[in-house]
Amino acid sequence: DTGVSQNPRHKITKRGQNVTFRCDPISEHNRLYWYRQTLGQGPEFLTYFQNEAQLEKSRLLSDRFSAERPKGSFSTLEIQRTEQGDSAMYLCASSLDTGALYNEQFFGPGTRLTVL
Amino acid sequence: GDSVTQMEGPVTLSEEAFLTINCTYTATGYPSLFWYVQYPGEGLQLLLKATKADDKGSNKGFEATYRKETTSFHLEKGSVQVSDSAVYFCALRYGTYKYIFGTGTRLKVLA
């Protein structure tokens, strides 16, 4: 399967701990996106990368959150000093920027974070 | 600000029933409109899209028409199947990447 993959699929942690999630996009895709989806809500945009450059960060992404895409391939999202409000599904998506107005984003299955 | 409002679920239908899931939007410009579907344990999948007023998106028997005058993009299907059970998200997008999603509507189809 060559879709977007995310690991781990589930993470349970205690408040105050750091967690890191990984996203592997579709191999030729140069754009990668992170979203957060809380219970009963739709996904909310967090940040996106064009190759290894992080081009936009949402105001939702507090200083405790950091995302990287060091070689323009996989990406990691780290949350430091987790809080119960961080409990959510974290979705990753990727797309191929062809210069067209519309490029479909392909979503991974998500990482569900529970902060106790 | 821009937003998307969907009808609350869950929506429960019998197989072969007609489906409508309402979606309205508020936007300052002229966004593209989308429907995504999320099956249990899977990521969101694009179902259909429309990029300008009066466009009709269609896929797998689902249809939605971009209505600028009523700021709506209602999802319809003439005859649902058990396999259509999922959560459906309406979304708008400006430019090439930034979506605003609705809260999702869960559909349950009974055999």
The mean pLDDT values, 10 residues at a time, for chain A of 116 residues are 89 97 95 93 92 91 94 94 96 88 86 96
How does pLDDT run across B10-24, given as a tens digit for each residue?
999 999 999 999 999
Residue of B46, B81, B83, B78 whose CA lies nearest to B62: B78
The pLDDT score that the predictor gives to residue A97 is: 84
Q: Are A67 and A74 in contact (CB under 8 A)?
A: no
Residues 6+ apart with CB under 8 A from B48: B34, B35, B57, B58, B59, B62, B63, B64
Q: Which residues of A touch B37 (CB under 8 A)?
A: none
Interface of A with B (CB under 8 A): 3-4, 31, 33, 40-45, 48, 56, 91, 93, 95, 97, 101-110
What is the rounded average pLDDT for all residues in chain B? 93
User: Where does residue A19 fall: left (phi above 0), alpha (psi -120 to 50 degrees), or beta otherwise?
Assistant: beta
Q: Is the pLDDT of residue B89 over 90?
A: yes
The pLDDT score that the predictor gives to residue A1 is: 56
Q: Which residue of A has its CA nearest to B32?
A: A102
Is A104 in Cβ contact with B99 (below 8 Å)?
no
Interface of B with A (CB under 8 A): 4, 32, 36, 41-46, 49, 51, 89, 91, 95-99, 101-104
